Structure 1
Amino acid sequence: MPTYVYKNLQTGETYEIKQSMRDEPLTQHPETGAAIKRVLSQPGIAFRGSGFYVTDSRPREKSGGSEGGGGGGGE
């Protein structure tokens, strides 16, 4: 279950609350009943670049080997 960050509208205190992605955002704190609002935050991980494989950061070989093989064999 994802953890969402909520902020108390009166005190500014923040809370982390686990709830299903299908649940509607809370408007009151489940224990205290205080007015709260969900805060948008950055994800814990960010992928950047053209790809995510180890070979994506290596320079391509310029040798005369076979390229574009496709590997199907066609039989």
Structure 2
Amino acid sequence: MPTYDYACDSCGNRFEVFQKMSDQPVNTCPSCGKAVRRVLSGGVGISFKGSGFYKNDSAPSCGNSTACAKASCGADK
């Protein structure tokens, strides 16, 4: 379930709500009961798993030259 951030312009309260994407947005502030607005959050939950995501995972051990890369993959054979 995604997390949505809301802000109240009346009292300044900021809060998060775990909701289904099909749920209606929150309309009232839990602190003061006035209208709230949904705000964009900067936190994105992306998780890279497995090998090959870092430079040192797939780099050839003898350097970064084209000849070295061909030799390590067996292209010259």
The answer for the alignment partner of 1:62 in structure 2 is 70
**Ranges in structure 2 where 5+ consecutive residues have no aligned partner:** 61-68
Contact 2:11 2:32 in 1 (8 A): no
2:19 aligned partner, one-letter code = Q
Q: Give the secondary-structure state (helix, strand or coil) at the position aligned to 1:16.
A: strand
Length-normalised TM-score, structure 2? 0.55
Give, in whole Å, the separation in 2 of the partners of 1:20 and 1:30.
19
Give, in whole Å, the separation in 2 of the partners of 1:30 and 1:10.
12
Give, in whole Å, the separation in 2 of the partners of 1:15 and 1:44.
17
Task: Provide closer, same or farther for how the CA distance between residues 27 and 16 of structure 1 changes in structure 2, counting only shifts above 3 A.
Answer: same
Length-normalised TM-score, structure 1? 0.56
Give 1:17-56 correspondences, 5 Å limit. 17-29=17-29, 33-45=33-45, 54-55=51-52
**Ranges in structure 1 where 5+ consecutive residues have no aligned partner:** 68-75
| Alpha-carbon distance, 1:37 to partner | 0.7
Q: How many residues align?
A: 64
Identity of aligned residues (%): 32
| Alpha-carbon distance, 1:38 to partner | 0.7
| Alpha-carbon distance, 1:34 to partner | 2.1
Q: Give the secondary-structure state (helix, strand or coil) at the position aligned to 1:54.
A: coil
Structure richer in helix, relative to its length: 2
RMSD in angstroms over aligned alpha carbons? 3.2
